[in-house]
Amino acid sequence: MTHGSHTAATAGAHTAPEVLEFAAERGVEMVDLKFVDLPGMWQHMTLPLAALNVDDFESGLGFDGSSIRGFQEIHESDMLLIPDPATGFIDPYYDRCTLSLICSVADPVLGAPYSRDSRFVAQKAERHLVQSGIADIAYFGPEAEFFVFDHIAYEQVEHRAFYEIDSAEGFWNTGRPAGTGANLAYKLRQKEGYFPVPPADSLANLRGEMVASMETLGIRCEFHHHEVASGGQGEIDMRFQPLVQMADQMMIYKYVVKNEASKAGKTATFMPKPIFEENGSGMHVHQSLWKDGEPLMYASGGYANLSDIARHYVAGLLTHAPALLAFCAPTTNSYRRLVPGYEAPINLVYSARNRSACVRIPMYHEAPKTKRIEFRSPDPTANPYLAFSAMMLAGLDGIRRQLDPGEPLDVDIYDLPEETLSRIGTVPSSLEAALDALEADHAFLLDGDVFTSGLIEAYIRYKREAEVDAIRLRPHPWEFAMYHDA
């Protein structure tokens, strides 16, 4: 039995008594406490509703922080989860009626929010924006792409390594023999997945279920569609929201996509580049600043009708892009996507039309309230609390220092002469290079104590040891094709 069909799956509460009253009215039996680790994966623990008290929303519930990636050491492991009553929703993926609450993390010894809790970072970022006097709200609208596969397998041991994926709509299955089941064609040709109708788009109904589930959970969705890559790539767009709220929604988005795929007997992945020679999955992030209910990014007459504030914000993103990518494209696989071609946004320029630019200015509408900038280099493996906060801080740094983004570049970058191309900066080519850039350029993240030096150091250390070194130590299968006869 699932509970996603309930007409009011979200609590709509603001206080602990309100959310507990909602739970009692809805017949809730269990409460699931969800929180995010430093790399950006949701973790959880569950308790019966009767075991949750009003006081727990203030005092917190204990857990072992030493077992969570990027958190505490074994000798300082005790941590607290602080449920946020405003985030309550009936979780559609449990058999027993379950209330999910998104939590922040606290340090019981210091009696304060935990400095490595990325949700706390995002809350500080919103407070810092108001205190800056520049704006009072930052809206974010991520376009997170993903793949849905029918099969995935992988293994790496001392003497063998492989991975394999499959999708019934993949172009590589046009020649699948009859003995493996009927082959009814309608395979998407390579890089031609944008926008054919069913039956070629075999996942339209599944994406519809994902959207319906998210809408039930209070997430306002816009378009959903198949993406460019053959083999199951899709995208669902969410209506823009303030920073912390959108980061919360991004976590729910990934949760819903994965669980709806699992219910359908498939598997969803936000891994940026799972298929060789196909477009990867990005997360273009639309963002804008507002103050007193008025948009700040629009000014009539300039390039793309950008205001000076917007131009400085763009300059901040471009100036700090190499460091930003440590948070915004945070995996070794991210840099399989960020290569020339494949519409990859690798060039440190801005443009109203050019999709290979790191920053694009959408031109669909000219109303001031729709004016925004789009940072195209991130991907959906990012921890949204850290990534959104870092982007906003980079933009604010550009405004504070009145940085100049230079001239826009609206031509096809890949048709430019080599001499001109050599003068255009590009994003880092590896996670290691992005981490080096973050190490050298992070003062802008420390403004308002939004990020702390300790968090940045812990993040860099974790990424280098657990991810960069893990890949560097292992032979790659293609190395045998190149070197086994050396």
Task: Give the list of residues 6+ apart from residue 445 with CB closer than 8 angstroms, or none.
Answer: 390, 393, 451, 456
Please compute the mean of the pLDDT values over residues 186-191 and round it to a whole number. Answer: 88
**pLDDT score of 268 more than 60:** yes
| Beta strands at 151-157 and 160-166: parallel, antiparallel or unpaired | antiparallel
Please compute the mean of the pLDDT values over residues 74-97 and round it to a whole number. Answer: 91
Question: How large a percentage of the chain has pLDDT more than 70?
Answer: 96
Tens of pLDDT, residues 284-297 = 999 999 999 999 99
| Gap between the Cα atoms of 307 and 304, Å rounded | 9
DSSP designation for 259: H
SS3 153: strand
CA angle 164, 38, 118 (to 5 degrees): 135
Instruction: Give 422's Cβ-side CA count (13 Å radius).
Output: 3
DSSP annotation string for 266-310:
-EEE--S--STTS----EEEEEEEEETTEESSB-TTSGGGB-HHH
**pLDDT score of 77 more than 90:** no
Please compute the mean of the pLDDT values over residues 57-84 and round it to a whole number. Answer: 87
- Which whole-number Å values give the CA distances from 345 to 108, 195, 352, 437, in the listed order? 43, 21, 13, 18
What pLDDT sits at residue 45? 96
Catalytic residue IDs: 64, 143, 145, 227, 235, 284, 355, 374, 376
Confidence of residue 2 (pLDDT cuts 50, 70, 90): very low
Task: Count the Cβ atoms, other than its own, within 10 Å of residue 408.
Answer: 21
Instruction: Name the token pair of 48.
Output: 């019966």
Please compute the mean of the pLDDT values over residues 236-240 and round it to a whole number. Answer: 97
Tens of pLDDT, residues 145-164 = 999 999 999 999 999 999 99
Lowest mean pLDDT among 107-111, 304-308, 472-476: 107-111
Instruction: Name the token pair of 448.
Output: 């308002």
229 within 8 A of 193, measured Cβ to Cβ: yes
Confidence of residue 75 (pLDDT cuts 50, 70, 90): low
- The pLDDT mean for the chain works out to 93
Please compute the mean of the pLDDT values over residues 119-143 and round it to a whole number. Answer: 98
Confidence of residue 3 (pLDDT cuts 50, 70, 90): very low
Please compute the mean of the pLDDT values over residues 176-188 and round it to a whole number. Answer: 79
Question: So where are the chain's domains?
Answer: 16-113, 137-483
What pLDDT sits at residue 109? 87
Please compute the mean of the pLDDT values over residues 375-384 and round it to a whole number. Answer: 97
**pLDDT score of 49 more than 50:** yes
Identify the CA nearest to 400 among candidates 139, 124, 138, 134.
134
Which H or E element spans position 213?
Answer: helix 204-216
Classified by CATH at the fold level, domain 137-483 comes out as Creatine Kinase; Chain A, domain 2 (3.30.590)
**pLDDT score of 305 more than 70:** yes
| Gap between the Cα atoms of 326 and 177, Å rounded | 44
What pLDDT sits at residue 344? 79
DSSP annotation string for 42-102:
EEEEEEEGGG--TTHHHH-EEEEGGGSTTS--GGG-EEEEEE-GGG-EE-TT-SS-EEEEE
| Gap between the Cα atoms of 29 and 31, Å rounded | 7
Chain position carrying tokens 């949204």: 384
Instruction: Name the token pair of 13.
Output: 């509460």
What pLDDT sits at residue 341? 67
**pLDDT score of 74 more than 60:** no
Instruction: Name the token pair of 224.
Output: 């959903």
Three-class DSSP labels, 420-477: HHCCCCECCCCHHHHHHHHHHCCHHHHHHHCCCHHHHHHHHHHHHHHHHHHHHCCCCH
What pLDDT sits at residue 4? 41
- Cα torsion through 457, 121, 323, 68, rounded to 10: 50
- Which whole-number Å values give the CA distances from 230 to 34, 82, 234, 258, in the listed order? 34, 42, 10, 19
Classified by CATH at the fold level, domain 16-113 comes out as Ubiquitin-like (UB roll) (3.10.20)
Lowest mean pLDDT among 46-50, 63-67, 133-137, 284-288: 63-67
Lowest mean pLDDT among 42-46, 92-96, 168-172, 466-470: 168-172
